[in-house]
Structure 1
Amino acid sequence: MDETAARALTQDVVAALPKVVLHDHLDGGVRPATVLELARKTGYDALPADDAETLARWFRDSADSGSLVRYLETFEHTVGVMQTRDAIVRVAAECAEDHAADGVVYAEVRFAPELHIEKGLALTEVVDAVLEGFRRGAERAAEQGRPIVMRALLTAMRHAAKSVEIAELAVAYRDQGVAGFDIAGAEAGFPPTRHLDAFEYLRRENAHFTIHAGEAFGLPSIWEAIQYCGAERLGHGVRITDDITIDGVAYPELDEPARAALPERVRAGEADVRLGRLAAFVRDRRIALEVCPISNLQTGAALSLRSHPISFLLALGFRVALSTDNRLMSDTSMTKEMTGLVSEAGWGLDDLEKVTVNAMKSAFIPFDERLAIIMDVIKPGFAAARA
């Protein structure tokens, strides 16, 4: 990106762009003030701070540990205050409003129903509450001139045994706002094939699903997710770079400056890049990578935004989609993710538009609806930014 374009691509310009989110956790995006208010209302007394600013800082600092396991521990508090219908409806409504305010026009937000039944809610009541919240939030956003399409992904926890039940819920609700299924949680020791029955059921039912793979764990996790389970998308998936060599050197062996230089070298045809069988399959089959850069820095899956593999993978032609993961823990938004890549990795409007269109192409809604959002919302939005 040249210097003039860099100056023109300000935060205000990026904030106004249409955005698409495929990988966003409901319990990872609660407003700090809402966490406090819900804790008081529901009697949850384990919060580590009693004011919104300090609480927000605690979530961010705890998530900055560099450990995925420690990162996941922060969810005990958000899940802890989301155990009543009213609380879940409120969090879901605010999620829709916050995304819309950030310029998001389509969002798939995931949550694990099994984590919200500690106070007696049934799994169906949890799903109903989230969908009601999305409806309310989308309606309020539309009234403010920020239309957004909200869809839910139902997540099963990898270490638990409810995946078939959650998959059945996803199918039962697929005409009511649930777009698909996911599994999440610590990857190491909990391979996706533990839930093969759920994935086989979903495939028989012509249902969509994504799988967290290739974040903290490498190629075996990705291979199982795709070849055994049949994943259409990969949650994160950045460790696919483990199957790529550059000038005879495996990607993981490159230092940070070498990684940062790769996108330009690829575009200039100066790097001898060889994809292994799995990496080639992922690229050839257009399996979307739901990449969340700032979250990856926190969990140690990437070294910096400047050298984050998202730019390299995009230059190689992988179907890369940009997302937020957990907006509270990462203190992020789609605008922050985009501006970070602009300022640190030299991204321009073409790059931002590419990942946005990529995400919409891989959304779990019908083709005609995807195409309408691309042609009627995304393309005009980026054209206006170039005018």
Structure 2
Amino acid sequence: MTTEPPTPTTAPSPEQIRALPKALLHDHLDGGLRPQTIIDLADEVGYDGLPATEESALADWFAESADSGSLERYLSTFDQVLAVMQTPEALTRVARECVLDLASDGVVYAELRYAPEQHLRGGLDLDEVVLAVHRGVQEGMEEVAGSGRRPIVARTLLTAMRHAARSREIAELTVRHLGDGVAGFDIAGAEAGFPPSRHLDAFEFLRRENAHFTIHAGEAFGLPSIWEAIQWCGAERLGHGVRLVDDLTLDGVPVTEVETPYAEWTDDMLAAVRLGALAAYVRDRRIPLEMCPSSNLQTGAAPTIAAHPITLLDRLRFRVTLNTDNRLMSRTSMSGEMGLLVDRAGWELAHLRRVTVNALKSAFLPFDERLAIIEDVVKPAYDG
């Protein structure tokens, strides 16, 4: 039974939110495993380091460990999932289940990012990792299409780790596999002490090869990280970018010091906001922000959902997109992220529609394919 979408001026119910088509640009493959899959794979490969071997207990451990307020502690939870993602069979299973889970949540377009260099402990080479993941993504899409459900289009982004020295190699891998479901390149990991400009050679290579790339910036580190990602490295999108609000003021006061929740700001307050040069450049150039509210709360990049910069930046008409980041660690989904913003930040259907269209406009997908999803899938569902 299909749930009828609400009118554009109403706050949708959880059931209506779940039925809406969604677009997801920032989702880590190794951050979205099913807890039972981790247990199964650990048993298959003989890994005995899991902190729990019962599904609900393991899910609790991931969420509680990630909910620390520290990006470094948050990232340490990935040691457990990476330990069981070292064979082609494991990578294929994880990718397939990821696509199935997203489709069940209403996602119609997804970009799944992962770092091939983190999956070599079992003897695979980089190309074998990419092909194993691609196989799982394809299987997932085909299974969804064969089930009669609304289809999902899924692509991957190959991530280089900013603390390592393989970014040029991963950039070349990206270009080599653009026909294997790979849509682009990303760089991730702890920001402090590892500026994106250290990997300038990789970004210059990608631009010469006309390849798309995004950069994690402005999450744990501030405006200099964003500036380098854009002006030195040429990022097409910003992963997170929440610290961009550090470049906004209201009557001479940083907006982060204004006590009024962003959802309650009046039109006069919004009109009085002054953008610094970097924020103005990001908005004028329509550089997409891949924002992940729940994850940002866990890493301390935002204090609450109501005070998360996504609402202010959306109201100021930055090109904001809504994402999950790591569904396992944050115990979230696209429906969950949308529901939080509706319940705690006053979002209505029009806001959800806008970030969905923004994501598709910003996707690393050919223009005609993006347009088809917007016109044939998103608009009919949101506009009634």
User: TM-score, normalized by length of structure 2?
Assistant: 0.96
Q: In the alignment, what sits opposite 2:128? A: 125
CA distance in 2, matches of 1:269, 1:327: 34
Q: Deviations over 1:297-336 (max 9, x none)?
A: 1001111111111000000010000000000000000000
Which 10-residue stretch deviates more, 262-271 or 344-353? 262-271
Contact residue 265 and residue 271 of structure 1 kept, 8 A: no
Q: In the alignment, what sits opposite 2:348? A: 348
Contact residue 263 and residue 311 of structure 1 kept, 8 A: yes
Q: Is 1:57 the equivalent of 2:43?
A: no
Q: Is 1:23 the equivalent of 2:59?
A: no
Q: Give 1:239 shift.
A: 0.3
Q: Is 1:34 the equivalent of 2:45?
A: no
Residue 216 of structure 2, aligned match among 209, 212, 219:
212
What are the within-5 Å matches in structure 2 for residues 295-306 of structure 1?
Answer: 295-306=295-306
What are the within-5 Å matches in structure 2 for residues 302-317 of structure 1?
Answer: 302-317=302-317
Residue 146 of structure 1, aligned match among 140, 150, 154:
150
Q: Is 1:245 the equivalent of 2:249?
A: yes
CA distance in 2, matches of 1:76, 1:220: 29
- Structure 2 gap segments, 5+ residues each: 1-6
Q: Deviations over 1:5-36 (max 9, x none)?
A: 89861100000000000000000000000000
Q: In the alignment, what sits opposite 1:273? A: 273
Residue 76 of structure 1, aligned match among 69, 75, 79:
79
Residue 159 of structure 1, aligned match among 155, 158, 163:
163
Q: In the alignment, what sits opposite 1:370? A: 370
Contact residue 63 and residue 328 of structure 2 kept, 8 A: yes
Contact residue 164 and residue 198 of structure 1 kept, 8 A: yes
Which 10-residue stretch deviates more, 172-181 or 100-109? 172-181
Q: Is 1:99 the equivalent of 2:105?
A: no
CA distance in 2, matches of 1:351, 1:7: 10
AA paired with 1:308?
H
Counterparts in 2 of 1:270 and 1:41: CA distance versus 1, 3 Å: closer
CA distance in 1, matches of 2:266, 2:371: 30
Q: Please, what is the CA RMSD of the aligned residues? A: 1.4
Counterparts in 2 of 1:246 and 1:173: CA distance versus 1, 3 Å: same
CA distance in 2, matches of 1:7, 1:231: 35
- Aligned residue pair count: 377
CA distance in 2, matches of 1:104, 1:148: 7
- Structure 1 gap segments, 5+ residues each: none
Secondary structure in 1 matching 2:312: helix
Contact residue 112 and residue 154 of structure 2 kept, 8 A: yes
What is the identity percentage for the equivalent residue pairs of Structure 1 and Structure 2?
A: 64
Residue 136 of structure 1, aligned match among 135, 139, 159:
139
Contact residue 11 and residue 349 of structure 2 kept, 8 A: no
AA paired with 1:105?
V
What are the within-5 Å matches in structure 2 for residues 376-387 of structure 1?
Answer: 376-384=376-384
Q: Give 1:264 shift.
A: 4.0
Q: Give 1:272 shift.
A: 1.4
Q: In the alignment, what sits opposite 1:230? A: 234
CA distance in 1, matches of 2:336, 2:103: 14
User: TM-score, normalized by length of structure 1?
Assistant: 0.95
CA distance in 2, matches of 1:142, 1:353: 24
